[in-house]
Amino acid sequence: MTSKSTAFPSPGPLSLFGARLRRADGPRRARRRLPTRRDWPSWSIVAFQIGFLVALIALWEIGARVGFIDPFFWSSPSAIWSTGVVYFTEGNAFVDIAHTFRSTLLGFFIGTTAGGLLGLSFWWSSNYARIVQPYIICLESLPKLALAPLIILVFGMGLASKVAIATALTLVVSTLTAFAGVQAVDKDQEKLFYSLGASRWQVFTKLVAPFCVPWLISILRVNIGLALTGSIVGEFVASQFGLGRTILYAGQTYEIALVWVAVFVLSALSMVMYVAVSWLESVLRKGARN
Amino acid sequence: MAVRPKLVLDNVSMVFETKGSTFTALAPVHLEVPAGKFISLIGPSGCGKSTIFNIVAGLQPPTTGKVLIDGEDATGFIGQVGYMLQKDLLLPWRTVLDNVCLGMEIRGTPMAEARDRAAPLLRKYGLGGFESLYPASLSGGMRQRAALLRTLLVDMDVVLLDEPFGALDAQTKAQMQEWLLQLFNDFGRTVVFVTHDVEEAVFLSDDIYVMASRPGRVIEQLPIDLPRPRDRSIVSSPRFVAMKKYCLDLLHMEAPAAPVAA
């Protein structure tokens, strides 16, 4: 090898290149290219995603049949499928979906709206904001789901209690977000408004409220998830209908396939609502600019 | 009988008291601005320029003294003057046209009427074609133009401009100064201008008030008797250079002994 004869003790087959890079006097300059990024075509990404899912389901089914997965605890895709068909054709799938959907949506709207208004109201008086703030922080740190049994007692087994829990979860987050928005309003901007002779109401409607709109929009996607969680937990504690109730009931009667069906329906519902809220968000963002 | 001045600061002072110690932000200042004049306040930071503006705009009550506009007591009243702060403070969710209309809207002009009044002025003063854009897509100079038009369109006789061109590059700044002089001629308002830039002050003003800090006070009133309308070439005339030097000397005299740069 020629590397033996060079003055540089760099071993290996790359030494020739290494030697060429070095200057007799002066430091070595690293020759490095910008890392290139290779994007696979979209179809191959989708193919991988589907392939992974199919493999997972196949493994589950085979495992359940061969016996290295206990079908009593984990069920099997085929059993889940047939249970699902029964649940949708003969069971009360649509009633459950309607109940969960309704309480989630109601909780989402009430919590977000009331929380947003409450947060914005803090702009009106710093004294009032200072008095209320510790309570809000307390409510924030309180695990609100722990109150679920109490809420059920107060609001009963029906819709109201689910809505109340979903509202409790979304309200505090919305309040804090709107309040953070209020505090971020540029003081110079307020000064400009007042120098133009604005009333407090004008400052509120033309500056503070529009300024906070993007802050509230950003909370929508978080809130839809929280509202759903609230509804499900409410149904866990006490209810006659709803996906949460079905999951709990099926678990207690060891109908594991039905648990899975309800969980899958729940995730589908959650995804639909998430997409809808994302769409709402983009519409509002466009609207907020006009 | 002398013409009644447009704006008078009658022995206005501002003292802050914090736990036993007092801080004089502004020693009593007496200042009279005749109608239709352009005056500048120059001075080091902390000389009370912004305090004067806040007091005149009614955003801060003075410790002593009164602000008179047309001889009437305007102390502590907001909306009596047009006030442009250093930042353009355009609302990002409003178009340029609607931003310019903000002042009129706040004063109760119906939005459609405000737009009708503002649109031709936008075209006349270099914002034509930008009306329906949002501020984010405008350059710094254009944003300042919009902010200044917003201030002028509220129809206040007295306009306060707090370093409006401070953040602009030299070339844009020169353009904006000439643009401002054009507006000043067309609108005939009484302007109080704050700047750090002595050349800018001499170029634009009828009177310069040189201020000093600790405590903030006016140390000299300097009339600038250069003919109007002024052309950019005036900055190299001996008279201009002499006045600029005089101002700089006054400011330097007041500045604490600055260490010589190495």
CA-wise closest residue to B14 among B4, B3, B1, B28: B28
Min Cα distance A198 → chain B (Å) is 6
Name the residue of chain B whose CA is nearest to A194's CA. Answer: B78
- A184 at the B interface (CB within 8 A)? no
Q: Based on the fold, state whether residues A107 and A217 are members of the same structural domain.
A: yes
- Judge whether A75 lies within some domain: no
Q: Based on the fold, state whether residues A195 and A269 are members of the same structural domain.
A: yes
Residue A202 has pLDDT above 70, yes or no: yes
Q: Based on the fold, state whether residues A128 and A170 are members of the same structural domain.
A: yes
Min Cα distance B245 → chain A (Å) is 34
CA-wise closest residue to B216 among B18, B27, B90, B5: B27
Collect all residues of chain A within an 8 Å Cβ-Cβ radius of residue B87.
188
- The DSSP line for A125-191 is -HHHHHHHHHHHHHHHHS-GGGGHHHHHHHH-SSHHHHHHHHHHHHHHHHHHHHHHHHHTS-HHHHH
- The pTM of this model reads 0.81
Contact A206 B105 (CB under 8 A): yes
- Judge whether A265 lies within some domain: yes
State the pLDDT at residue B213.
85
Contact B59 A207 (CB under 8 A): no
- Judge whether A235 lies within some domain: yes
- pLDDT mean across residues, chain A: 88
pLDDT class for A246, splitting at 50, 70, 90? very high
Q: Based on the fold, state whether residues A108 and A55 are members of the same structural domain.
A: no
Q: Based on the fold, state whether residues A119 and A62 are members of the same structural domain.
A: no
Q: Find out whether the peptide bond into B110 is cis, omega within 30 degrees of 0.
A: no
Q: Based on the fold, state whether residues A63 and A196 are members of the same structural domain.
A: no
Q: For the sheet containing B21-33, what is the strand order?
A: B21-33, B7-18, B64-69, B72-73
Determine the Cα–Cα distance for residues A50 and B53; give it in Å rounded to an integer.
Answer: 67
- A195 at the B interface (CB within 8 A)? yes
Determine the Cα–Cα distance for residues A223 and A277; give it in Å rounded to an integer.
Answer: 10
Q: Which residues contact B187 (CB under 8 A, 6 or more apart)?
A: B152
State the pLDDT at residue A284.
81
State the pLDDT at residue B17.
86
- How many domains is chain A built from? 2
> pLDDT of A47-87, one tens digit each?
999 999 999 999 999 999 998 889 888 999 999 999 999 99
CA-wise closest residue to A165 among A150, A176, A175: A150
Q: Based on the fold, state whether residues A94 and A141 are members of the same structural domain.
A: yes
* Cβ B216 vs Cβ B24: under 8 Å: yes
Contact A197 B59 (CB under 8 A): no
When CB atoms are compared, the residue of A188, A196, A288 closest to B87 is A188
- Domain of A120 in residue numbering reads as 86-288
State the pLDDT at residue B232.
87
CA-wise closest residue to A221 among A253, A177, A258, A161: A177
> pLDDT of A219-235, one tens digit each?
999 999 999 999 999 99
What does the block give as tokens for B101?
A: 């209309």
CA-wise closest residue to B82 among A262, A197, A279, A227: A197
B40 forms beta bridges with B193, B208
Cα A245 to Cα A81, A249, A254, B222, distances in angstroms: 20, 6, 14, 84
- Judge whether A12 lies within some domain: no
Q: What is the CATH number of the domain that holds A130?
A: 1.10.3720.10
CA-wise closest residue to B52 among B22, B19, B7: B7
What backbone phi and psi angles, to 5 degrees, belong to A222? -65, -45
* Cβ B26 vs Cβ B13: under 8 Å: yes
State the pLDDT at residue B1.
47
Q: Based on the fold, state whether residues A161 and A275 are members of the same structural domain.
A: yes
Helix axes A148-155, A159-183, angle to 10 degrees: 120
Cα A161 to chain centroid distance, Å, stands at 23
Measured from the Cβ of residue A81, the count of other Cβ atoms closer than 10 Å reads 15
State the pLDDT at residue B258.
46
- A204 at the B interface (CB within 8 A)? no
Which residue of B102, B149, B160 to mutate against A (max A Cβ within 10 Å)?
Answer: B102
- Judge whether A262 lies within some domain: yes
Q: Based on the fold, state whether residues A135 and A48 are members of the same structural domain.
A: no
- Judge whether A242 lies within some domain: yes
* Cβ A195 vs Cβ B79: under 8 Å: yes
- Judge whether A169 lies within some domain: yes
Helix axes A243-252, A256-288, angle to 10 degrees: 160
What size, in residues, is chain A? 290
Residue A32 has pLDDT above 50, yes or no: yes
Q: Find out whether the peptide bond into B215 is cis, omega within 30 degrees of 0.
A: yes
Q: Based on the fold, state whether residues A51 and A105 are members of the same structural domain.
A: no
Cα B157 to Cα A48, B75, B192, B218, distances in angstroms: 71, 16, 11, 24
Contact B89 A192 (CB under 8 A): yes
Residue A23 has pLDDT above 80, yes or no: no
**Segments making up each domain of chain B, as ranges:** 90-155
Angle at A248 between CA A243 and CA A253, to 5 degrees: 125
Q: With 0-12 CB in 10 A as exposed, 13-18 as middle and 19+ as buried, what is A268?
A: exposed
- Judge whether A139 lies within some domain: yes
Contact A206 B89 (CB under 8 A): no
Cα B76 to Cα A80, A227, B8, B189, distances in angstroms: 75, 49, 14, 21
Q: With 0-12 CB in 10 A as exposed, 13-18 as middle and 19+ as buried, what is B41?
A: buried
pLDDT class for A3, splitting at 50, 70, 90? very low
Q: Based on the fold, state whether residues A159 and A53 are members of the same structural domain.
A: no
Contact A192 B83 (CB under 8 A): yes
Q: Based on the fold, state whether residues A129 and A243 are members of the same structural domain.
A: yes
Blockwise average pLDDT, block size 10, chain B, 262 residues: 81 88 89 92 87 92 93 90 92 93 92 92 90 91 92 91 89 91 90 92 93 88 88 90 91 61 40
Amino acid at A67: G
> pLDDT of B79-137, one tens digit each?
899 999 988 999 999 999 999 999 999 999 999 999 999 999 999 888 889 989 999 99
pLDDT class for A22, splitting at 50, 70, 90? low
Determine the Cα–Cα distance for residues A152 and B108; give it in Å rounded to an integer.
Answer: 51
Contact A210 B83 (CB under 8 A): no
Q: For the sheet containing B217-223, what is the strand order?
A: B82-84, B158-162, B190-195, B38-42, B207-212, B217-223
Min Cα distance B56 → chain A (Å) is 10
State the pLDDT at residue B229.
83
| Chain B residue set in contact with A, beta carbons under 8 Å | 57-59, 78-83, 85, 87, 89, 91, 93, 102-103, 105-107, 134, 154
Measured from the Cβ of residue B120, the count of other Cβ atoms closer than 10 Å reads 10
Contact A196 B87 (CB under 8 A): no
Collect all residues of chain B within an 8 Å Cβ-Cβ radius of residue A288.
93
Beta strands at B158-162 and B190-195: parallel, antiparallel or unpaired: parallel
Contact A188 B134 (CB under 8 A): no
